[in-house]
Amino acid sequence: MVLHNDKRYWDDPINFNPARFEDPNVTHEAYFPFAGGAHTCLGKFFASYLFKNVIYKLVDNFEQITTDEDLKINPAPIPNPRKDVKIQVL
């Protein structure tokens, strides 16, 4: 909580503003939600699968998902995009 409220790393840290992560230059080293070391969160992988499910359910409600980017897929170990892809949902 102290790190995530530190004004040296975050502009306006108290405000919930997911758009701050749209800037590719934003430092992710100061984003440390599951802590680390011996007492790192035991549920972090479970939690991230849960979030992916929530996003899947959310995106499933949109009729159209498009992207302007050239989509390059890594075929293995499971198909996944080579780099992050920005999408538009309608």
CB of residue 44 to ligand HEM, shortest distance in Å = 6
* 41 contacts ligand HEM (rule: CB under 6 A): yes
Question: What gap in Å lies between CA 53 and CA 65, rounded to an integer?
Answer: 17
CB of residue 45 to ligand HEM, shortest distance in Å = 9
Question: What gap in Å lies between CA 81 and CA 70, rounded to an integer?
Answer: 10
| 7 contacts: CB under 8 Å, gap ≥ 6 | 13
CB closer to ligand HEM out of 34 and 62: 34
Contact region with ligand HEM (CB under 6 A), list: 23-31, 34-42, 73-81, 82-90: 34-42
* 81 contacts ligand HEM (rule: CB under 6 A): no
Q: What's the CA angle centered on 11, arms 41 and 5, to 5 degrees?
A: 35
